[in-house]
Structure 1
Amino acid sequence: MSDPFDFGKEERKLLLVHNERTKLRANALDRLSSASVAAGFIAPIASMSNNGVTFGISVSIVASTTAWIFTALVLHFAAQLMLGKLRP
């Protein structure tokens, strides 16, 4: 016989699973955002500093860095929007 006080436990478990999966997806997007910053900003700076020869900053480096930073911002805000889908 089922316990009358057990009503809602299954729904609560499903809710918790949903929230944890949502948080995992948001964290994955935020980590991808951090990787985009590394690819677009940190890597070119490190590359230029390791050459020993300064060629200056070219238009292609600026365009690439701008695109990577924009991508990082979009991913970060997408992660924040995803966290808005958490259920109470």
Structure 2
Amino acid sequence: MSLVHNERTKLTATLLNNVAAAMFITGGIGPTVSLSYGLPGPTGGWSALGITTIWILGGSAIHYMARLLLKGLKP
């Protein structure tokens, strides 16, 4: 039964990690690329930096949750 538990835990951690990666790319890399090419994106200045920081921190928090979830694996 612990094998089923471990596999479900790993799948959930993978889902959370994929969400974290998507948040990092969407909120971190996307606005940076759009600003560097002069494409429409978040307004320049501190508000864009703040929004990007929030997205990156959110993705980091979800990634950390996935790592904590993996600590619950059974031997």
* TM-score interval (norm. to shorter): 0.7 to 0.9
State the Cα deviation string for residues 44-65 of structure 1 (Å, max 9, x = none): 012113327xxx9412111101
Superposition RMSD on alpha carbons, in Å? 1.6
Aligned to 2:25: 38
Q: What is the count of residue pairs matched by the alignment? A: 72
Give unpaired runs (5+ residues) of structure 1.
1-13
In 1: Cα distance, 2:61 partner to 2:33 partner: 24
| 1:72 has 2:67 as partner | no
Aligned to 2:8: 21
TM-score for the superposition, normalised by structure 1: 0.74
Off by >2 Å, runs of 4+ in structure 1? 49-52
In 1: Cα distance, 2:54 partner to 2:13 partner: 21
The within-5 A match list for 1:46-65 is 46-51=33-38, 57-65=44-52
Name which one, 1 or 2, has greater alpha-carbon Rg: 1
TM-score for the superposition, normalised by structure 2: 0.86
Q: Secondary structure at the match of 1:44?
A: helix
